[in-house]
Structure 1
């Protein structure tokens, strides 16, 4: 019996020695964690992350771009000969009451004037005062405009020239004169288009390409008359 135990222990010890020396290969059940990591591909690229970061990575990222709406854009100024052509193209946008045609009004010159005095008698009295101050280059406005029974003291191409004349009149004692634009209506037209979405704006840009000399701009606050 003793001989049997002796040989059994010898065999077991021999097997344990062979296993520890690696003569029987690596057994996965006995592989320690560092050794297991060494056998993985790109183990050096492993990184520890927090639970919140892992949750954020797991959630789908959706980037939603808010559609930009153009409040009001204006294109022009079109001569009468091009009106039919541009309006046919603008019909493609089907904007309805979001589209307006306006008559373009330009400032042709700058006027130095005394506002309306209310009546012919008032204008004549002011004209007498001007003559006594040595001023004779003026005329009484008698048309049906808002300046009726006012007095024009000169019309100038530039505002700078008008302002210089106003200063000269002030030095002579004229205190009620002022400068204002002399508006004239032209035969040109512009189109104001409102609340355009990105697709409509893109299609308008394509239309504009057919009219290279025209300008596209933000809606202006200058004087216009709707047509």
Structure 2
């Protein structure tokens, strides 16, 4: 197997989805509700968030959607903000979330770079919050390119932002692997002509991913062994 580049999704892939976003989302929804229990319940239902257990359900738009898509769902219940202001608020607060690395990222990425691989991030989150998370994790400078849904290349499941990474780095899509925890990630990877690696640190199960993935791994830490097979 020849792989020259790896392009990673962020949430659920580099960072464990549940440990990063479940608690943050309860705090954000509570703040937006401004003490109104009915509004809180309506917002939670709109994005498939279970208030009883403070966790997203597997069908939530938040798992693979963009901030703009989430804001559109929440906006009818947030009269104090325009939809555009709400999307900006989500990006700003997301950048401040307590993040849980799926594996220790610095040594993992150093190992990939030592193999001569190009590495990048393509997330449906905003680029600024992605850069904030990577910077706070001490790994931003290890990536050759960081792309968000607002970076001007589009969003997954479209392949355009993945191909923008290849164009920027000189990587061949045929020897690039898209790594992600959602079907959106893998659909985009297939459409871009890339290899696809599914990981189980998001909300999707192995059964959800395996028809679109060349391999499904427990987490990104298993990628070096897969490359060596």
Q: TM-score, normalised on structure 1?
A: 0.24
- The structure with more strand, counted as a fraction of residues: 1
Question: Is the radius of gyration larger for structure 1 or structure 2?
Answer: 1
- The structure with more helix, counted as a fraction of residues: 2
Larger RCO of the pair (alpha carbons < 8 Å, separation 6+): 1
